[in-house]
Structure 1
């Protein structure tokens, strides 16, 4: 026991924050890897004219993630954030390898890969739910936006890594290229597993389970001021005491009770809008988008994903610089407005100028990605990590993650079908309208959380529920 304690004392806050957010690498790698693998897979398995099958192969991970997010969120309330992240890494290793060794059995191969990628999605969805919750519970209120933004930096770094790997492997024989692209996802998963082995559990989870001594020890790793530790412990204990006094047993129906409804709708709504706005249509299909615009083969357009990846990484760094300088709502509304215009203007320009340069749409997509990268992309996960009260955080984070993945799955599934039946400009204009609806949702339904402790945010939601209850006409 003493040896273990001494080992734990060596854990630095930088190590905790780095590996606490490293799960985003897995999330990002598997979002991005199919972008480069798909053209080779299509050619190898002769799927060029099978839009629905291509959509299912691409979106299968997101379909599995719908359930992985909800399941991991619920189990993390029972077993802890750390243990569930470890389990997710193991699942990720196994099914990444199985994706890379898919048998070549004609059409049956596609169904095998769809099933394996659905199971892989369980781990991806779990990571998307667990990492923001863990990071928000470890980070101090004044730096929570910036540190939680590490998750987004990890996600987009994982995407960029997958794009670079795709580009480096593109000259291999087609049947080898896509297999290695998919199978190499096991490497960051193994790194995550080894790193998380040394991570401590969340202090809020420990205190909820009655282990105050260990919770204090963990806080001592990441808080420099003893008075700050005492104040934070007291605040968490007060919240836990109120929960015990109420003898509350949380269930899915609890999430939408009067006390929590406002915050749950806000968090889940932002998570859903992030995906229905269509960002992943770009990330999954940019080579095919460029192919349709220019006529060049998709497999020769693998530099474009790297361009998008660089924009995403730079944007995530910009966000970490401005995260705690601007209100969350302001960034979401400004970003959503520009994103909406970036999607709708190509359709307007094409209507006014039918001979528009086909690459114009790609330029506007880059503008969209730039603003998405430092607004909706990171802030969604920051809000999901900080807006839900402790009593329901695991379930609510899982629900938000699941709605996020429902949007991601549907976009991945229907985009190739939509572009096969209508002009690309019209498809993106539809997503642009959804972006504007997202701005309206943020303005009317989302509270400001910057600079507030998690307990203050909970009180804000509780007070809103009381106001609604006493003024039902509002």
Structure 2
């Protein structure tokens, strides 16, 4: 015990925040790695005309993540955040390696890889839910606001890292290229596992288990002021008591009662729109998009994912700079409008000028990614973290996360099927219309949360419910 305590005392807050962020790198790496692996995998397994199988191979991770996040949330309340992050890292390592050693059995290979990637998705969903939760419980209150932006930066940095790895491996023989791309995803998982081994458990979880002395000890490693530690312990106890009372009084039906319906629809709707707007179609399929536009082999277009990755990283840094300078609704509506036009204009230009340069669509996609990176990408999770009242926060956040993963899975699944049956410009125009609908949704259904306390936001929902009840025709 003394040895463990001494080891924990050496851990700096910077170390804790780094490995909280590193979970985002792991998550982002797996989002991006299939972008480069897919062209080689298609050629090796002769899947060029198997759009549905390509869609399932790509989206299987997101399908597993739908369940991974919900399952990990429940298990972490029983076993602790730290232990579940370690378990997620192990699962991630195992199934990343199994993806890389997929047997060559003809069409059966595709089904093997789909199943393995679904199981890998359990770890992806768990990590995406657990790591931010652990970080928010370890960080001081004054730093929690910046963590949303930092986590997004690390996710897109993981994506960029995977794009660079894909580019460096592209000249290997086809089979070795995609196998190493997928298998090397185990490396960031191993780093995460080794880092989290040194981390203490969350003080919030320790208090829930009645281990107040250990919770105080953990806080002493990351808080300098004893008075601050006492104040935080008291605050955690009070919040835990309120959450316990709230959970006893609420059920799933409570989410859609008059008092909460407005805020639940707003938060879940934004989370769903973020994915149905089509961002993942670009992130997963940009080499194939360029191939269809120009006729060049997808495997020779792996510089484009790096371009997208750089735009995402720069955009996430722009967001951290402007986050507290503009209203959430303003950024979402401006971003959504530009994103929608970036998808719709290529179809209009192609209709008016049939001989349009095929790279025009790629230029507009870069504009889309730029505006997505500092508006909808980070703001969705900032807003979801702010908008739900305490009484329903756990269930509502889980519902929002599930809808987000469902959207991610469906876009990854249907995009290759859609592009196999209609022009790319038409497919992106459909996503553009969804972007515009998202702007309308934010305008009508989403309250402003910047600068408001959680209590003030809850009051907006309560007042909105009263207005609806007294004016049912509205």
**TM-score normalised by structure 2 residue count:** 0.91
Looking at structure 1, the residues matched to 225 and 451 of structure 2 have their Cα atoms a distance apart, in angstroms, of 18
Q: Which shows bigger deviation, 214-223 or 21-30? A: 214-223
CA contact (8 A) 1:280 1:408 kept: yes
Looking at structure 2, the residues matched to 233 and 30 of structure 1 have their Cα atoms a distance apart, in angstroms, of 37
Q: Deviations over 1:159-196 (max 9, x none)?
A: 11111111111111101110000000000001111112
- Count, aligned residues: 474
CA contact (8 A) 1:73 1:395 kept: no
1:335 counterpart residue number: 335
Looking at structure 2, the residues matched to 469 and 369 of structure 1 have their Cα atoms a distance apart, in angstroms, of 40
Q: CA deviation at 1:203?
A: 3.9
Looking at structure 2, the residues matched to 320 and 91 of structure 1 have their Cα atoms a distance apart, in angstroms, of 32
Change (3 A) 1:198 1:444: farther
CA contact (8 A) 1:235 1:455 kept: no
Q: Which shows bigger deviation, 142-151 or 361-370? A: 142-151
CA contact (8 A) 1:145 1:320 kept: no
- For residues 358-369 of structure 1, the aligned pairs below 5 Å read 358-369=358-369
Looking at structure 2, the residues matched to 416 and 219 of structure 1 have their Cα atoms a distance apart, in angstroms, of 49
Looking at structure 2, the residues matched to 193 and 400 of structure 1 have their Cα atoms a distance apart, in angstroms, of 28
Specify the SS of the correspondent of 2:249.
Answer: coil
Change (3 A) 1:291 1:142: same
Q: Which shows bigger deviation, 368-377 or 212-221? A: 212-221
Q: CA deviation at 1:77?
A: 3.0
Specify the SS of the correspondent of 1:22.
Answer: helix
CA contact (8 A) 1:133 1:397 kept: no
Q: Which shows bigger deviation, 396-405 or 41-50? A: 396-405
Change (3 A) 1:75 1:390: farther
Change (3 A) 1:122 1:12: same
2:28 counterpart residue number: 28
CA contact (8 A) 1:88 1:126 kept: yes
Q: CA deviation at 1:373?
A: 0.8
CA contact (8 A) 1:133 1:393 kept: no
Q: CA deviation at 1:289?
A: 0.5
CA contact (8 A) 1:419 1:427 kept: yes
Looking at structure 1, the residues matched to 456 and 220 of structure 2 have their Cα atoms a distance apart, in angstroms, of 22
Change (3 A) 1:127 1:246: closer
Change (3 A) 1:391 1:132: farther
CA contact (8 A) 2:328 2:449 kept: yes
CA contact (8 A) 1:73 1:394 kept: no
Q: CA deviation at 1:33?
A: 0.7
Q: CA deviation at 1:219?
A: 4.5
Q: CA deviation at 1:252?
A: 4.0
Change (3 A) 1:330 1:409: same
Q: Which shows bigger deviation, 169-178 or 127-136? A: 127-136
Q: Deviations over 1:439-472 (max 9, x none)?
A: 2222333344445566765676567667766776
CA contact (8 A) 1:344 1:432 kept: yes
CA contact (8 A) 2:270 2:438 kept: yes
Q: Deviations over 1:17-50 (max 9, x none)?
A: 2211221112111111111101110110011111
Looking at structure 2, the residues matched to 328 and 374 of structure 1 have their Cα atoms a distance apart, in angstroms, of 11
Q: CA deviation at 1:331?
A: 2.0
RMSD: 2.7
1:303 counterpart residue number: 303
Change (3 A) 1:329 1:14: farther
Q: CA deviation at 1:405?
A: 1.2
1:212 counterpart residue number: 212
CA contact (8 A) 2:246 2:390 kept: no
Q: CA deviation at 1:73?
A: 2.2
Change (3 A) 1:327 1:79: farther
- For residues 23-62 of structure 1, the aligned pairs below 5 Å read 23-62=23-62
CA contact (8 A) 1:274 1:377 kept: yes
Q: Which shows bigger deviation, 408-417 or 462-471? A: 462-471
Looking at structure 1, the residues matched to 262 and 172 of structure 2 have their Cα atoms a distance apart, in angstroms, of 52
Q: CA deviation at 1:225?
A: 5.6
2:421 counterpart residue number: 421
**TM-score normalised by structure 1 residue count:** 0.91
CA contact (8 A) 1:77 1:205 kept: yes
Looking at structure 1, the residues matched to 254 and 397 of structure 2 have their Cα atoms a distance apart, in angstroms, of 14
CA contact (8 A) 1:328 1:450 kept: yes
Change (3 A) 1:244 1:410: closer
Q: CA deviation at 1:300?
A: 0.6
CA contact (8 A) 1:33 1:181 kept: yes
CA contact (8 A) 1:93 1:187 kept: yes
